[in-house]
Amino acid sequence: MKILQATHRAGAAALFMLAGVAGFAVNTAQAQTPAAKSKTLDTIKARGVLNCGVNPGLAGFSIPDDKGAWTGIDVDLCRALSAAIFNDPTKIKFVPLTAKDRFTALQTGEIDVLSRNGTWTMSREADLGLLWAGVNYYDGQGFMVRRKLNVSSALELSQATICVQQGTTTELNLADFFRANNMKYEVIAFATSNEAIKAYDSGRCDAFTTDASGLYAERLKLTNAAEHVVLPEIISKEPLGPAVRQDDVVWFNIVRWAHFATINAEELGVTRANVDEQRKTKNPEIRRLLGVEGDFGKNLGLTQDWAYRIIKATGNYGEIFDRNVGAGSRLKIERGLNRLWNKGGAQYAPPVR
Ligand SMILES: N[C@@H](CCC(=O)N[C@@H](CS)C(=O)NCC(=O)O)C(=O)O
């Protein structure tokens, strides 16, 4: 009898605990239901513009034309955000920032997002209190030299003078590479890329080093691009993407899903030209992405058609890449690692569901 009672009591306790757990689960689910608040999003909406930190002038990434109209892969990330928030890709104040000043501008709240060919590194998140919302360009560092130097590998650059930009991962990788290979070098570091490339062009340095995408872009500024060659070595990983502060996880999610929307659109064959037509599709994945079914934007403080707005404004990731840095641009960079995951590349987005 005693044993029975004890068992009974234990059973009741177990039941009670189970109920407690179930109750807790229900409560948490309910607590998550109301639309999450983003202070950053509220501020942007009240201000009427997105403050977007960009590179002052890097072809393919962010560059103003003579009328002050900005284009580039990093600019398009901001256009996507502006489209999702305001249903208008032009509600943006572009804030040009040097490599050295960019993180302070984000930390102090001068900008809402930093979309400036910034490499995602551990210390930039852990020490600077930032978060990378994604990778819109997988890159790596390379070298450019004068053809007449007759050098075919970066390993032949011992004793060379190298032009580089301050406040970049480029400076650090350069030091690592020469140390690891027991080579000596002289570095001349500049505050801006313009100064660095000009110094290289004028012959002050034997080599110029930066992200490979930057080599393609900066080459366009040289007096005679044909006199220069890019060496085969890629000495680092440079996952470039937009960064935000750590104080607003909902805003972080908005930036990250704006980028993912463009990747998912490419994977699903949704383009700027066919996005209206695609709203009528039976494909459930496309219907969810475009907000025909479900309301996935709501809990981020966005509308049901948030991703439709993005694709309508910027096109999918493949279109963004081609137009700015790929085949349809002056840079003509191959997709390489930036192909979709199912086409042999590294670009991958989780599903909208
Ligand atoms: N990805 C690297 C380098 C970024 C960087 O600033 N690169 C230079 C060289 S291409 C640049 O964009 N300069 C343009 C400018 O400051 O005008 C980093 O995040 O540190």
Distance from the CA of 151 to the center of ligand 1, in angstroms? 25
Window from 17-31, 208-222, 307-321 with minimum mean pLDDT? 17-31
**Arithmetic mean of pLDDT over the chain:** 92
Distance from Cα 193 to the centre of ligand 1, integer Å: 7
**What separation in Å is there between the alpha carbon of 348 and the centre of ligand 1?**
25
Tell me how far CA of residue 22 lies from CA of 8, 10, 11, 17, 352, in angstroms. Answer: 21, 18, 16, 8, 27
pLDDT of 147 over the 90 cut:
yes
Whole-prediction pTM: 0.89
pLDDT in the model for residue 36: 78
DSSP 275-313: HHHHTT---HHHHHHTTSSS--SGGGT--TTHHHHHHHH
**pLDDT at residue 23 is higher than 50:** no
Examine the pLDDT at 10 and tell me if it is beyond 80.
no
Ligand 1 atom nearest 238 alpha carbon: 1
98 lines ligand 1 (CB under 6 A): yes
C-beta of 56 in contact with ligand 1 (< 6 A) = yes
What spatial distance separates the first Cα and last Cα of the chain, rounded to whole Å? 53
Task: Answer yes or no: is the C-beta of 236 below 6 A from any ligand 1 atom.
Answer: no
Q: How far is CA 334 from CA 213, 226, 330, in A?
A: 10, 19, 12
Q: Is 169 in the pocket of ligand 1 (CB under 6 A)?
A: yes
Other CB atoms within 10 Å distance of the CB of residue 147: 11
Q: pLDDT band at 22, cuts 50/70/90?
A: very low
CB 103 within 8 A of CB 84: no
pLDDT the model gives residue 32: 53
Chain position carrying tokens 């750590």: 246
Mean pLDDT of 7-29: 43
Q: Of all atoms in ligand 1, which is nearest to the CA of residue 240?
A: 1
- Which of 35-39, 172-176, 234-238, 303-307 has the lowest average pLDDT? 35-39
Cross-strand partners of 119: 240
Closest atom, ligand 1, to C-alpha of 217: 10
**Residue 109: per-residue pLDDT:** 98
CA distance 207 to 217: 16
Query: For residue 185, what are the β-bridge partners?
Result: 160
Q: What is the CA(118)–ligand 1 centre distance, in A?
A: 7
Average pLDDT over residues 115-121: 98
Q: What is the mean pLDDT of residues 331-341?
A: 97
- Report the share of the chain in percent with pLDDT over 90: 89
Give the pLDDT of residue 124: 98
Pocket test for ligand 1, best of 165, 169, 172, 237 (most atoms within 8 A of CB): 165
Tell me what the mean pLDDT of segment 246-262 comes to.
98
Q: If pLDDT is split at 50, 70 and 90, which confidence band does 285 have?
A: very high
What confidence tier does 11 reach under pLDDT thresholds 50, 70, 90? very low
**Atom 15 in ligand 1: residue holding the nearest Cα:** 193
Closest C-alpha to 185, from 211, 148, 157, 147: 157
